[in-house]
Structure 1
Amino acid sequence: MAADAKPPTSARRAELLAASVAYVAEHGLAELSLRPLAQAIGSSPRVLLYLFGAKEGLIREILDVGRAEQLALVERADGHRGTARQTLDLLWTWLIAPERRGALRLFFDGYVRSFDSPEGPWSDFAGKSLNDWLPPLRRVLADHPVPPTLVLAVLRGLLLDHLAATTRDHHERVQSAWTSFLDHSFPPPDTPG
């Protein structure tokens, strides 16, 4: 089999990819090694190499799954029939849900690593992410003067702060900052702007 060719999709491959995503969401990408990963998910390094071609191939697929999960939330919010403010707040609520913490960490891990890796498995992760998020945000903001890039920057900055928050007080300050941004950018119709 060629180095870049993948074996046909199988239930076992999908299972191992899902388990790898969960493992990396919990442990991060920084020191990812195939041996501990394989042991934790009930496989072997040899099987992982066969199924994913190389460690880099597995990392790329893990990041693709993480990016797809994030995009699915953005597109789901885009389909919401509320106001721009309601839609953005709904997206925020989905993104900060406790069960999404690992996926959020994985997203930012890949995003930051893409800055220093012009050739690695995450080389184009950040650019693709921008291209993923901006079109749905443009649709959500179609009737508002607030630039989608500003919304994306505030959203991602506060999501990073959310990940860094260690106390209830920290989380409340991050939530308050998000609410203040919405109040300033999307005031209710009867509020002087």
Structure 2
Amino acid sequence: MPQAPDNRRTELLDAVVAHLTEHGIAGLSLRPLAKALGQSTYVLTYHFKDKSGLLAAVLDHLDQQDREALQKWASQAPPGSPGAGILAFWHWQTRPEALPLLRLNYEIFGLLSSRRISGHHPRMIEDWIDFIAHQLMAYGRGARAARIDATLISAALSGLTQDFLITGDTHRIEEALARLAEFTDESSPGSK
């Protein structure tokens, strides 16, 4: 029985993402990618039309994967405080098996910020801020304050993640994370 086209497209996207986590996205070209995947260029153009269509599909696919990962992480036992949640999430996202995808996401952020990728605005950042805000509201923070604090925490974590990926200075970064966790807990309702 032949596979449904959507299943085949998803399998191709999974293979493309696996390839990109290993080789990066900046030099993406259809012909070498097809060869690396053991496919014809026609297969890629059939499912994605062109490089731009493939890139948009990859970004959407990564958005969905990130959303599912956040939901999976959030379904685990809640940490004792928002700060403990930040530390737990940090250790979860920087575990060795997660690093290739984390690096790919940050490469994409760099390409988006330099306008080398255009025409698509991934939801990763908004999803991440929504996720943090929801966690903060679970600890009693009002919706508006949670969204503002989530933006600040997201920016801090993003910077620390980038620092970690570039320098690997785990000791210094974990000290900064501990301070961010303290700050988050100190500014929580009922913490004083």
TM-score interval w.r.t. the shorter chain?
0.7 to 0.9
Q: Tell me which residue corresponds to 1:3.
A: none
Looking at structure 2, the residues matched to 173 and 39 of structure 1 have their Cα atoms a distance apart, in angstroms, of 42
Q: 1:141 aligns with which of 133, 136, 139?
A: 136
Determine which structure has greater relative contact order: mean sequence separation of CA pairs < 8 Å that are 6+ residues apart, divided by chain length. 2
Residue 78 (structure 2) aligns with: 81
The answer as to whether partners of 1:26 and 1:102 remain within 8 angstroms in 2 is yes
> Is residue 77–residue 88 contact of structure 1 (8 Å, CA) maintained in 2?
no
Deviations 1:100-146 (A, max 9, x none): 1121122122222223439835x312xx2232122221121122567
In 2: Cα distance, 1:120 partner to 1:185 partner: 34
Specify the alignment match of 2:173 in structure 1.
Answer: 174
Cα distance in structure 2, aligned partners of 1:137 and 1:160 = 18
The number of equivalent residue pairs is 177
Residues 18/35 of structure 1: CA separation in 2 closer, same or farther (3 Å cut)? same
Q: Specify the SS of the correspondent of 2:28.
A: coil
Contact kept? 1:38, 1:48, Cα under 8 Å: yes
- Structure-2-length-normalised TM-score: 0.79
Instruction: Give the whole-Å Cα distance in 1 for the aligned partners of 2:170 and 2:117.
Output: 36
Question: Hey, what's the Cα distance between the residues in 2 that align with 1:140 and 1:78?
Answer: 8
Residue 18 of structure 2 aligns with which residue?
22
Q: What TM-score results when the alignment is normalised by the length of structure 1?
A: 0.79
Shift of the 137–91 alpha-carbon distance from structure 1 to 2, 3 Å rule, reads same
- RMSD of aligned Cα (Å): 2.6
Cα pair distance change 1:23/1:118, threshold 3 Å: closer
- Sequence identity percentage: 29
Q: Which whole-Å CA distance do the structure 2 matches of 1:10 and 1:150 have between them?
A: 38
Find runs of 4+ consecutive structure 1 residues off by over 4 angstroms.
Answer: none
Structure 1 unaligned residues grouped into runs of 5+:
1-6
Contact kept, 8 Å, 1:63 with 1:107, in 2: the verdict is: no
Partners of 1:77 and 1:90 within 8 A in 2: no
Q: Which runs of 5+ in 2 are unaligned?
A: none
Q: 1:63-78 counterparts in 2 under 5 A?
A: 63-78=59-74
Cα contact 2:111–2:117 (8 A) shared by 1: no
CA distance in 2, matches of 1:84, 1:73: 19
